[in-house]
Amino acid sequence: MARTVTVRTLANMKRAGEKIAMLTAYDYPTAKLLSEAGVHVLLVGDSLGMVVQGQPTTVPVTLDHMVYHASLVSRGAEGAMVVADLPFLTYQVSAEEALRSAGRLMQEGGVHGVKLEGGREMAKTVRRLVDAGIPVMGHIGLTPQSVHTFGGFTVQGKTADRALEMMEDALALEEAGAFSIVLEAVPAEVAAEITHRLSIPTIGIGAGPHCDGQVLVFHDFIGYTSGYIPKHNKRYADLASIIRDAARQYIEEVAQGVFPGEEQTVHLQDGELRLFQSMVARHGGGARE
């Protein structure tokens, strides 16, 4: 990727009908590989609570966690725009607290923008951050930080009334200055209408093919996890099987004495070996009990 992706880049891509590819990243090597591949946006998602920390939801993730992982991703990103989630209760209490939280992610985490969950109720907070010079990505539909309110990870906007409310949420976020909006677990028809009505890009996850871009969780996309696979996910590799097979081969080779082999072994030069052996002989003594 020759030039750094910016808010303006994404806006131009929407106008040109070019699709935006976004993936989550939580560490330096992943960020480096994905940006080298040409991914436009790297999202340091609070999904790290589930796929990295093993938590049941994203709620336990703290701002310190996010700042740490954001700093790793920012150092690895080469040309990709880096956006980080504001974690639970770091922006809902007040706009000023949101500003302080976002400021830490920008200053200490090195990100180019932040993402927060919520619709019209977050419009004033979005405006406060934007006025302070912080790019904001919105997130509506299934908002994981509210999973306990929803009663689980379920599709949102399945009725006409709720779909209309969602569209109004999106318009309010755009009016407040958001540069993009994630639509998660939304019927494709609803996502298509919202995408058509907004002048800013929409990024879908489980929202059908008509959004301006798509995002997947890295561990799901690369097959790094096992068990439940979300309906919206497509596995582009099976890294979990590769890792398991490699570990089994390693265990077997260690047990059989095959590893390390000659290629992985360093030897003393002949002269140093003879000198070492003579020094050992003069040293005397046997093996310690």
Distances (CA, A) of 215 to 62, 126, 191: 22, 21, 14
Q: Look up 184 and say whether it is catalytic.
A: yes
Q: Is the dihedral of CA 3, 7, 10, 16 positive or negative?
A: negative
Residues 6 or more apart whose CB falls under 8 angstroms from that of 36 comprise: 1, 78
Query: Which one is catalytic: 165, 174, 184, 193?
Result: 184
Please state whether beta strands 41-44 and 113-115 pair in parallel, antiparallel, or not at all (unpaired). unpaired
What is the rounded distance in angstroms from the CA atom of residue 181 to the CA atom of residue 143?
12
CA atoms within 13 Å, Cβ hemisphere of 272 = 4
What is the rounded distance in angstroms from the CA atom of residue 142 to the CA atom of residue 118?
10
Residues carrying an active site annotation: 184
